[in-house]
C-alpha cells in the first residue's frame, strides 16, 4: 500500500461568515486548523499534508504545524459559494502542472472537525483500496430521527415525503422500529480517488462506501465551539523535538559519533510518546562544525536502537549553548504522564 500516492488536502479559506476566522479560532491554545493537520500527520498512509487557503496568514500558521502550502488558493474559488470540487480540482491540477505529482487517493479533512481519530483515516483508506469498484468512502453517523418521517412542503402547503421507497407502503405511517436505519454524513473524513475528482467531476462519484462513526464534531456556529468535549482536544497530538547527542545518545568521546551509546531510558520515553500518538522529531548538529556527513551512521543507529520517530533533521547549528523557551528538562520528560 505504501507505493500508492496518498495525500491529505485541508481546505481552509479565510472568509467564514458564521464565525469570523473560524478555521484559526483558538481551542485549548491551538488554532482549530492545527488539530486537523495533526490528524493527517498521524496517519501511517498519508504522505503529504497540504492546506489549500486563500490567506498568507493562514498559510504561515499551517506551515508552523508542519503542513505544506505549495500555493495560495485563487480568490475566485475561495468564496462563500465555492464548491469543494473547485478547490480540489485546482489543487490536483496545480500539483500536476507544477510538480508533476499525481496522487491516487485524496483524503479530504475539514479543519472544522478538531476531534477525530487518525486510525479511522487509515482504516477508511484501507477499505477504499480494497474495494476497487468504489469511487469514495465517507464517514457517517446514525440518524437520531428516521428520514422516512421527514417531509418537504410545497408552496401550496401540501406535504411530500423526503424519501419514497417501493419496499414500503406509506413508510411515514409505519413504526420507526420497522424502518431501515438512515445515516448522516458528519463531515469528519471523506476519502476519494483522484480520478473521481478529475474525470468524474465529483467529490464522491456514484459508488460511495460508508464508514460509521459515533460522533459529530463539525463546527459551523460559535456555540458549537463552547460545547466541544474539551478533554478530547487536550490530548491531541503534540510535537516533541529531541536532540540526539546528550539526550537520545550519551555524549561521544571526541565527537566520534560512530562510538555513540544509546540512552535507553530516554529512548523508552520517546517510544512511549510516539505510541501515544505524538509527533517525534530528532534533531542533530552532527557534522555542522566539521562538515563530516554522519547521516547514514545516525539513521542506522536510530534503527538499531529502536527509536520511534516521525522525522530526523540534520543541520542544527553548532553552538556551545542552546536557549529555548519551550525546553523540557530530562527529569520533566521522564516524569511526564501520558
pTM: 0.67
Interhelix angle for 32-42 vs 56-64, to 10°? 50
CATH number of 6-143+181-234: 3.90.550.10
- Quickly name the fold that domain 239-334 has: Rossmann fold (3.40.50)
Could you check whether 6-143+181-234 and 239-334 share the same CATH topology? no
Query: What size, in residues, is the chain?
Result: 338
What pLDDT sits at residue 261?
Answer: 94
Q: Where are the domains of the chain?
A: 6-143+181-234, 145-180, 239-334
What pLDDT sits at residue 215?
Answer: 78
Digits of tens for pLDDT over the chain (338 positions)?
558 999 999 999 987 766 778 888 877 778 889 999 999 999 999 999 999 999 999 999 999 999 999 999 999 999 989 999 999 999 999 999 999 999 999 999 999 888 888 999 999 999 999 999 999 999 999 988 889 999 999 999 999 999 888 888 888 899 888 888 889 898 899 999 999 999 999 999 999 999 999 877 666 545 445 455 545 555 556 788 999 999 999 988 888 999 999 999 999 999 988 887 788 889 898 988 888 899 999 999 999 999 999 888 888 777 777 776 667 777 777 776 65
Per-residue pLDDT of 260-305, as tens digits, reads 999 999 999 999 888 877 888 898 989 888 888 999 999 999 999 9
CA dihedral 188, 10, 133, 122 (to 10 degrees): -60
Euclidean distance between the first and final Cα of the chain, in Å? 31
**Cα(305)–Cα(308) distance, integer angstroms:** 9
Please, where are the H alpha helices in the chain? Answer: 32-42, 56-64, 84-99, 118-130, 194-198, 222-226, 230-234, 264-275, 295-304, 330-334
For 22-75, the DSSP string reads GGG-EETTEEHHHHHHHHHHH-SS--EEEEE-S-HHHHHHHHHTT-B--SPPPG
The three-point CA angle 55-58-62 to 5° equals 135
Q: Going by C-beta distance under 8 Å and a sequence separation of 6 or more, which residues neighbour residue 327?
A: none
Per-residue pLDDT of 188-228, as tens digits, reads 999 999 999 999 999 999 999 999 998 776 665 454 454 55
* Three cell numbers written together for 26: 483558538
**Cα(35)–Cα(23) distance, integer angstroms:** 10
Amino acid at each position: 500500500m505504501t507505493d500508492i500516492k496518498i495525500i491529505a488536502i485541508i481546505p481552509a479559506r479565510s472568509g467564514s461568515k458564521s464565525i469570523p476566522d473560524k478555521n484559526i479560532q483558538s481551542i485549548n491554545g491551538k488554532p482549530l486548523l492545527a488539530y486537523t493537520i495533526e490528524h493527517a500527520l498521524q496517519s501511517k498512509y498519508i504522505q503529504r499534508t497540504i492546506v489549500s487557503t486563500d490567506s498568507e496568514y493562514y498559510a504561515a500558521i499551517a506551515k508552523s504545524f508542519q503542513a505544506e502550502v505549495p500555493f495560495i488558493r485563487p480568490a475566485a474559488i475561495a468564496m462563500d459559494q465555492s464548491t469543494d470540487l473547485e478547490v480540489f480540482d485546482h489543487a490536483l491540477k496545480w500539483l500536476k502542472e507544477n510538480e508533476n505529482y499525481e496522487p491516487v487517493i485524496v483524503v479530504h479533512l475539514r479543519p472544522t472537525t478538531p476531534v477525530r481519530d487518525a486510525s479511522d483515516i487509515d482504516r477508511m483508506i484501507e477499505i477504499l483500496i480494497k474495494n476497487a469498484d468504489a469511487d469514495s468512502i465517507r464517514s457517517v453517523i446514525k440518524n437520531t430521527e428516521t428520514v422516512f418521517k421527514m417531509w418537504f412542503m410545497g408552496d401550496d402547503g401540501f406535504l411530500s415525503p423526503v424519501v419514497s421507497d417501493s419496499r414500503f407502503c406509506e413508510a411515514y405511517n409505519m413504526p420507526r422500529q420497522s424502518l431501515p436505519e438512515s445515516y448522516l454524513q458528519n463531515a469528519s473524513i471523506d476519502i476519494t480517488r483522484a480520478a473521481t475528482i478529475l474525470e468524474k467531476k465529483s467529490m464522491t462519484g456514484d459508488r460511495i462506501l460508508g464508514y460509521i462513526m459515533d460522533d459529530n464534531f463539525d463546527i459551523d456556529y460559535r456555540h458549537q465551539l463552547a460545547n466541544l468535549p474539551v478533554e478530547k482536544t487536550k490530548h491531541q497530538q503534540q510535537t516533541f523535538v529531541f536532540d540526539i547527542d546528550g539526550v537520545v545518545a550519551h555524549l561521544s568521546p571526541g565527537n566520534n559519533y560512530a562510538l555513540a551509546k544509546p540512552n535507553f531510558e530516554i529512548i523508552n520515553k520517546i517510544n512511549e510518546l510516539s505510541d501515544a500518538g505524538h509527533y517525534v522529531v530528532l534533531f542533530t548538529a552532527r557534522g555542522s562544525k566539521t562538515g563530516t556527513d554522519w547521516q547514514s551512521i545516525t539513521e542506522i543507529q536510530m534503527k538499531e536502537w529502536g527509536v520511534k520517530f516521525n522525522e530526523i533533521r540534520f543541520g542544527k547549528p553548532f553552538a556551545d549553548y542552546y536557549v529555548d523557551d519551550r525546553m523540557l528538562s530530562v527529569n520533566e520528560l521522564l516524569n511526564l504522564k501520558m
